[in-house]
């Protein structure tokens, strides 16, 4: 078997896509669907967000004696959008959620999501499966639903950590030129959990829906507000904001480059122990293992 071990090392310099081709399959991210860039939905970061990303990585920024300056550089562009405390953020987010309840299509979609969650509650601990069950359920009811898989690379200068995320989106076509995009996230509130939250931030988390159903523009504002509140909460505990809770990272979860697919089954990466081709000196894969022909 030592010869086989040495042959596996040959694949070391290859990237993931090249390794995937060796067994005739693609990795889950490139398995199916259509690609979309962030600017497909006018989601390129604005100047205030870029400034925010820079300041999040500057250890000397954001002293306690200038909350107005703090808010202005974090992307709040008007007095109505300013959040001066975690408690204000809770009221602000709850206001956005209430305003969303006046959207008749959003209410219909939310009701259908609730029915799907109840019907497939047995998959609650299998999130990839549950998402696809809910997506398929929505499509059967006539919604243009799909699984969105975002993926982004790290940006050393901008302090952005690489990552990826999955959620459901639903596109409502109001006309040939006008579309509304709705986000359905089945595990929304947990995405904002932080270490040692203040009592105010805990109340904010408890006010968030476990399952989010809403317009993408509302979600973008909510994410920005909660990210700011989490930073305030951690700072009051003299803790640093982790990279995976920064506004830029959180925004990329739902608004980064993404692949949209209606595949009803989760795509899984190929097992590294399974080989689909026949090679000289080897039998086909048996029970996930390779055996050297000795006779």
Whether 103 and 85 have beta carbons less than 8 Å apart is answered as: no
What are the distances in angstroms from CA 193 to CA 52, 85, 148?
21, 17, 22
What's the CA gap between 91 and 287, in Å, rounded?
57
Instruction: Name the pLDDT band for 161 (thresholds 50, 70, 90).
Output: confident
Q: Is the pLDDT confidence value at 54 over 50?
A: no
Tell me what pLDDT residue 285 has.
44
Q: Is the pLDDT confidence value at 56 over 50?
A: no
| DSSP H helices in the chain | 2-9, 16-22, 47-56, 67-72, 86-100, 104-119, 127-140, 199-207, 216-236, 247-255
What's the CA gap between 112 and 182, in Å, rounded?
13
Q: Averaged over 32-58, what is the pLDDT?
A: 47
What's the CA gap between 286 and 268, in Å, rounded?
20
Q: Extract long-range pairs of 289-292: CB within 8 Å, 24+ residues apart.
A: 290/4, 292/1, 292/3, 292/4
Pairing of strands 212-215, 34-36: unpaired
Q: Is the pLDDT confidence value at 12 over 60?
A: no
Q: Is the pLDDT confidence value at 235 over 80?
A: yes
Of 13, 22, 242, 17, give the one whose Cα is nearest residue 151.
17
Determine which of 51-65, 108-122, 165-179 has the lowest per-residue pLDDT on average. 51-65
Strand partners, 40: none
Q: What's the pLDDT tens digit per position in 136-146?
A: 999 999 999 99
Map tokens 């595949």 to a residue. Answer: 263
Tell me what pLDDT residue 69 has.
33
Q: What's the pLDDT tens digit per position in 258-282?
A: 999 998 887 665 444 444 444 444 3
**What six digits make up the tokens of 152?**
């982004």
Tell me what pLDDT residue 199 has.
94
Tell me what pLDDT residue 265 has.
81
Whether 244 and 231 have beta carbons less than 8 Å apart is answered as: no
Q: Averaged over 158-179, what is the pLDDT?
A: 88
Tell me what pLDDT residue 42 has.
45
Determine which of 36-45, 59-68, 154-163 has the lowest per-residue pLDDT on average. 59-68
Instruction: Name the pLDDT band for 177 (thresholds 50, 70, 90).
Output: confident
């Amino acid at each position: 078997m030592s010869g086989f071990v040495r042959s596996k090392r040959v694949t070391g310099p290859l990237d993931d896509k090249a390794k995937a081709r060796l067994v005739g399959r693609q990795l889950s991210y490139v398995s199916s669907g259509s690609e979309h860039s962030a600017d497909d939905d006018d989601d390129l970061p604005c100047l205030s967000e870029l400034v925010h990303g820079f300041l999040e990585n500057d250890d000397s920024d954001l002293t306690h004696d200038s909350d107005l300056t703090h808010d202005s550089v974090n992307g709040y562009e008007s007095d109505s959008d300013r959040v001066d405390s975690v408690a204000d953020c809770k009221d602000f987010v709850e206001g956005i959620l209430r305003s969303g309840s006046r959207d008749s299509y959003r209410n219909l979609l939310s009701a259908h999501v609730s029915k799907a969650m109840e019907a497939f509650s047995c998959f609650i601990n299998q999130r990839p499966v549950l998402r696809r069950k809910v997506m398929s359920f929505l499509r059967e009811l006539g919604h243009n639903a799909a699984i969105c898989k975002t993926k982004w690379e790290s940006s050393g200068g901008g302090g952005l950590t690489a990552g990826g995320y999955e959620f459901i989106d639903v596109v409502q076509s109001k006309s040939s030129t006008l579309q509304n995009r709705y986000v359905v996230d089945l595990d929304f509130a947990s995405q904002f959990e932080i270490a040692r939250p203040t009592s105010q931030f805990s109340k904010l988390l408890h006010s968030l829906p476990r399952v989010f159903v809403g317009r993408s523009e509302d979600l973008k504002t909510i994410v920005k507000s909660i990210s700011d509140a989490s930073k305030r909460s951690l700072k009051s505990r003299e803790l640093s904001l982790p990279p995976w809770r920064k506004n830029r990272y959180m925004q990329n979860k739902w608004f980064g480059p993404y692949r949209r697919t209606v595949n009803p089954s989760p795509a899984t990466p190929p097992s590294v122990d399974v080989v689909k081709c026949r090679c000289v000196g080897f039998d086909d894969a048996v029970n996930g293992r390779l055996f050297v022909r000795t006779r």
